[in-house]
Amino acid sequence: MTKLLPTATAGSLPKPSWLAQPEKLWSPWKLEGEELLEGKRDALRVTLADQQQAGIDIVSDGEQTRQHFVTTFIEHLDGVDFEKRETVRIRDRYDASVPTVVGAVSRQKPVFVEDAKFLRQQTTQPIKWALPGPMTMIDTLYDAHYKSREKLAWEFAKILNEEALELEAAGVDIIQFDEPAFNVFFDEVNDWGIATLERAIRGLNCETAVHICYGYGIKANTDWKKTLGNEWRQYERTFPNLQKSNIDLISLECQNSHVPMDLIELIRGKKVMVGAIDVASNTVETPEQVADTLRKALKFVDADKLYPCTNCGMAPLSRAVATGKLNALSAGAEIVRKELSA
């Protein structure tokens, strides 16, 4: 990007109410068959227009074609039985009934490549595409086959790499892997989590990103955040190795969080997507609040490497709130851009 402080979102955006029930995770589709396919594409066009109107520089599909950022990808793979469910603890935080890995996992056909081609046709702006990361994928499954978190992560990394190479060929500029699990399983992240991520980006020439957050604004996450104390130092455990990794961009949660900004110093040299929009609150930030967060981050990241962004996805928010937050992000970035060029 030649533009200073290019804005982007972490990933998901609200779906139109004719496609799925708003303000809900895992919201079931309201359409089926051909109508659903068409509806998803129309929603993708709407979410793109919303981002463009707000002045977002790096646009995305807003995850309009998926029900959930992890499960939709896994649904397209062989080796996972969605009927056979077991209760596991997700990210050491809450119990959920999850599908079972019953055999070797594989990808028989592309998952999001047609959607990415469709988005590419609609705009000449840079586009970013989000995929789940290997560690977050294994954390959402019961594994009755490999019986090893690490082995399953390596298998998923290979599958993600196949998908990522095809997304790149479809014209995606930045491929992002969502790894909220990186904020929980520090030893595993350092032992093999970052290594599996690097396997997932092997051979890519486009830019790559990892998104590490404290989750959507759902109750299980906000309850967990209350246990983390006044200073959230989770990033400190993984940043030194991420700094040495081949990942180009790191997407972080900064707005209204208790993450000490100086931790960003640990990834000096990387491009940093600074979360300047709180997705766990319906209060729309003022442009000045966004600018303030960006100014604080600028002490630890060079201006040409700062990408103003949201803390996480905005799927569970109302469209009005999400649009307000996109506008605030753009306006806040513009304030700081002017200051930098003055």
Beta-carbon contacts of 135 under 8 Å, excluding residues fewer than 6 positions away, are 149, 153, 179, 181, 182, 185, 188, 189, 193, 196, 197
- Decide if residue 90 touches Zn ion (CB under 5 A): no
Q: Indicate which single residue of 141, 276, 312, 328 sits in contact with Zn ion (rule: CB under 5 A).
A: 312
Shortest distance (Å) from residue 7 CB to Zn ion: 17
Contact criterion met (CB below 8 Å) for 284 and 324 = yes
Residue with tokens 């304030």, as numbered in its chain: 335
Stretch that binds Zn ion, among 183-191, 219-227, 288-296, 306-314 (CB under 5 A): 306-314
Handedness of CA 230, 235, 236, 237 (dihedral sign): positive
Stretch that binds Zn ion, among 31-39, 140-148, 211-219, 227-235 (CB under 5 A): 211-219
Q: Which is nearer to Zn ion, 26 or 82 (CB)?
A: 26
- Decide if residue 152 touches Zn ion (CB under 5 A): no
Q: Which is nearer to Zn ion, 27 or 100 (CB)?
A: 27
Shortest distance (Å) from residue 210 CB to Zn ion: 11
Rounded CA-CA distance 57/73 in Å is 26
223-243 exposure pattern, b = at least 16 Cβ within 10 A, e = fewer: ebbeeeeeebebbebbbeebe
Handedness of CA 162, 168, 171, 175 (dihedral sign): positive
Stretch that binds Zn ion, among 12-20, 209-217, 255-263, 292-300 (CB under 5 A): 209-217
Stretch that binds Zn ion, among 70-78, 205-213, 241-249, 329-337 (CB under 5 A): 205-213
- Decide if residue 213 touches Zn ion (CB under 5 A): yes
Interface with Zn ion: number of residues (CB under 5 A): 2
Interface positions with Zn ion (CB under 5 A): 213, 312
